[in-house]
Amino acid sequence: MARPKPAAPLASPDEIEQQFYEALQRGDLERLMAVWSDDEEISCVHPGGPRVVGATAIRSTFESIFAHGAVNAQPEKVRRLQTHACSVHSVLEHIRVMTTEGPQSAWVVATNVYLLGAQGWRLVSHHASPGTPRELQEIVEAASTLH
Number of domains in the chain: 1
pLDDT of residue 113: 98
**pTM attached to this predicted model:** 0.84
Q: Residue 140 falls within a domain, yes or no?
A: no
DSSP at 36: B
Pairing of the two strands 120-130 and 43-45: parallel
Q: Residue 3 falls within a domain, yes or no?
A: no
The CATH number that applies at residue 103 is 3.10.450.50
Q: What is the pLDDT of residues 33-70, one digit of tens each?
A: 999 999 999 999 999 999 999 999 999 999 999 998 99
Cβ-count burial 71-96 (b if 16+ within 10 Å, e if not): bbbebeeeeeeeeeeebebebbbbbe
- Residue 107 lies in domain: 13-131
